[in-house]
Amino acid sequence: MNAQRLPESGFNSAWFCVRTRPRHEHIAAAGLRQHEDIEVFLPRVRFQRSTRRGLAWVTEALFTSYLFARFQPHLALRRIQASQGVAGVVHFGPNWPTLPDHVIKEIQALMGPEEVHVIQHDLHPGDPVEIASGTFQGLRAVVTRIVPARQRVAVLLDFLGRQTMVELDMNQIFPDTTARGV
């Protein structure tokens, strides 16, 4: 990030980090997109989360309470700060950090045209996993069976010197990338 003092005028268009009110990223982005002179980038992730009714797909901001906006501060700063859902533009005293274009372009390339990255558990029998919650949290195991209808997975783990078969919710495990050397 480059930090610069914000001049009265003559500042070219640049990418700034905009802080939003909690869980208002999409509202702030929608409001800012109505202005032709403001370019908005809100990277998001889509994943399944366990709810009382079972698994549900949710979409959340990649950077909670933040989005990126490209604008000329002397023309648009006050409009941005007054927009619905916006808490302010990130600054440190008189210094207003900007992000280089190539950084935003890299993130945009990873997110795709819809600005959303979908995270899916693509597990298969034999895959190494780590248990993320519950009694066996932190232990490593190997997938033996997947029960997609119930969103459960059977794993084999070493526990107290014995191999034990355990059935867990899909959201209690994640792929163990260290076992694959990734």
Per residue in 80-92, pLDDT (tens digit) is 999 999 999 999 9
pLDDT, residue 5, reads 62
- My answer on whether 109 and 43 are in the same domain is yes
Q: In what order do the strands lie in the sheet with 86-89?
A: 39-41, 66-71, 14-20, 86-89
Mean of pLDDT values over 142-156: 82
Q: Who wins on pLDDT, 70 or 118?
A: 70
| pTM (two decimals) | 0.66
Question: In whole angstroms, how far apart are CA 133 and each of 46, 76, 103, 149, 152?
Answer: 21, 46, 34, 21, 14
Residues 57 and 108 in one domain: yes
- Domain shared by 51 and 135, yes or no: no
Range of the domain at 140: 128-180
Helix (H) or strand (E) holding 167, with range, is strand 162-169
- Is the model more confident about 35 or about 9? 35
Number of domains present in the structure of the chain: 2
Residue where a domain terminates, one of 118, 136, 158: 118
Q: pLDDT: is 50 or 129 the higher one? A: 129
The model's pLDDT over 23-68, given as tens digits with 9 standing for 90+, comes to 999 999 999 999 999 999 999 988 776 667 766 788 999 999 999 9
Whether residue 55 is found in the same domain as residue 142: no
Q: For position 151, which CATH number holds?
A: 2.30.30.30
Whether residue 19 is found in the same domain as residue 90 = yes
pLDDT top residue among 71 and 180: 71
